[in-house]
Structure 1
Amino acid sequence: MSGQFSFGFSGDDIEDDGQSNSAGPQVSASTQPQASASAFPVPGKPLLPATSHDLHHMLSQLPSKIAYGILDIDLDGAGNIQLPRRELWDVRVQLMAEDDGGDTEPGLGNHDVKTGVYEGGFKSWESSVDLVKVLSLSKSFLSDIDTVPRLIELGCGTALPSLALFQWSLSLRAPEKSSALSIVLADYNPTVLQLVTLPNFVLSWALHQRAGSPLLENAFSSEGELDLTPEVLKAFDEFLTARKISLSFFSGAWSTEFIRLLNSDKTPKIGNNSGQRTIILGAETIYSPFALSAFTQTIFSLLEEEKAQGNAAEALVGAKKLYFGVGGSLDDFVTKTREMGANVEELREEAEGVRRGVVRCSLP
């Protein structure tokens, strides 16, 4: 069973004007997955195990140079935000240079998803842009000096929502007075984390700090490229430490072990912080009933853990109203979470083109 899905998009990615190039919410499946307790069932193929990844090791594995483009997102008339993304052609060049399966790397071919192999992380999906727009309305929480903000993006891929929050935090949080900020980035595929997620954070930092740093100004030696010298990577690491920002990376299938790893990754409270506020993010993570069930169980476990510790927590989920051909839908997610006892609030709806929405889930 191949379990390969094509989501009906006319191109590989969201266009750089922040708009989707999708012609409609069509999903085709060459073979329908069979029922299973796991999120991404492939008979005879084990799911990737839950794994944590060390930031310093990941930084050491980056290439000497990366190429990038800018995604300009209009925040519904309230300004805009420009988010850098590593170019996919540059990822292909790196893989071919390393002779590490550049021609066959999952996710760099013609399929948006290959069930149990690759879960779409190299591409930026429309609902991730919807989440950025929703988050822009409440980003002021990043500057609260009395609370440790913790962001968890499940199925992060190119991590547009987390990148936006990271970029806003650089402007909103006072360097000397801010509490700690924890950003947890999780994707099924470790290659996605290494090849696009981390590079996008380095790019976002470098572009934001470029004007006041001769080191970074020199690193942008060519248009659309950033030199990742040892000095640049060291400066990035030192900046995170100075600003009390932690980046944590996790890969593998949603599972009990996955939840345990995330719950063990806690930012220590600093100063007189009274508590922690956790925001769980997920975009396009419920494209099938299997993914919907596992994702819902995961966010409930994380919300329950935070509630047990007396921390405020909520989940913001963006998805299409219906994924034709494989059965997932935002409405099913809302129904399921309400049946499980969650409070669900609809925050945003896109009625034109591909019908999508963003909802907030919390425990009473």
Structure 2
Amino acid sequence: MPNSTSTAVDTPDGTGELTLVDADIHQRWASDEEIMQYLPERYRDDGIVAPTLLYRNPGGFFRQEEMGEDGSKPGTDLEELASSHFDENDIDYGMLTGNSWFNLAALPNRDYAVELARAYNKWLVDDCLPVDDRFLGSLYVAPKAPEQSAELIREFGDHPQVRQVMLPGGAEVPYGRPQYWPMYEAAAEMNLAIAVHPFSEGHGTSNAPTGAGHPNSYIEWHTLLGAYYMGQLASIVTEGVFVEYPDLRWAFIEGGYGWVPHFMWRLDKNWKGLRSQAPWLDQPPSQYIRENVWFASQPIEEPETAEQHNQILEMMHADEMLIFASDYPHWDGDDPTWGLPPMEDSLERAVRYENAVELWDLPADPTDL
């Protein structure tokens, strides 16, 4: 049975409210053997072979204070993750998004990419999710093999803690193309959200990470992640994904959100004059986005004044579409305690948990999963 629609009613403490849902937490395996044990025999000797990130942060990707005394990387000890991140920050739910370098969309061998995705999903449901009821899971798929990926979604998507399917930001062609739709049909069938997260941009067989080509340095690549998301979102909306799957929920994670108002305005303006190119859209593109799409807060936008940030939140309809993400334990992660700027109470509740509850169809009590 797919995940069923749930109604948040009352929390264990009787307050009727959650505290915080974190949309982006990177757990990782301590050794490749943890994933390789789930690979079929024909690939077990190959191990994990995936294109690595072309753009390196000179300071590394992890907060140094999160590194283990033995040099172990944060996120490998899941019990420690539950204690140090969930308990200390009163996190009710946290979405596990895995290793950021697992670039399955950039692999030329589709069969191998599918088996890597299956191995990851087995590790997720067998070794990660049982550690804590508050853990939510993101399934990995191989976008170059949509039919096989749809099978993976149906194979693992009925696990009660699995709430989302993860797509890498980079791909060979934009995600609105009908060739990808078998994955969306399976996600809608299993009541799972789709999420796009930075992976694969400019790696392996993926396209250049910017419209101008390959940037020179990490600062360029990291700054322009939102531009890549614009291309994917324009494709998803104008190709009619939300017309075909009106209940499909979609999230864009770790690409910022300051670009969202401009994007919606520009897309609406062009639609008014070019409706013949998307005749299946019976309402402005921004309306589909407001009804079907969410954006994660990390990295928090930092304009010159608090007033300017409040204007961004108002213009993008943050009360409907913004969800909190820490990006733990990455170097630019946002601490749940002080990461969000001051907001009105109703908006803060929406960003901290209400919007995420809607996106992932979550009950108020994790034990109800």
- State the TM-score, normalized to the length of structure 1: 0.31
- Larger proportion of helix: 2
- Larger proportion of strand: 1
- State the TM-score, normalized to the length of structure 2: 0.31
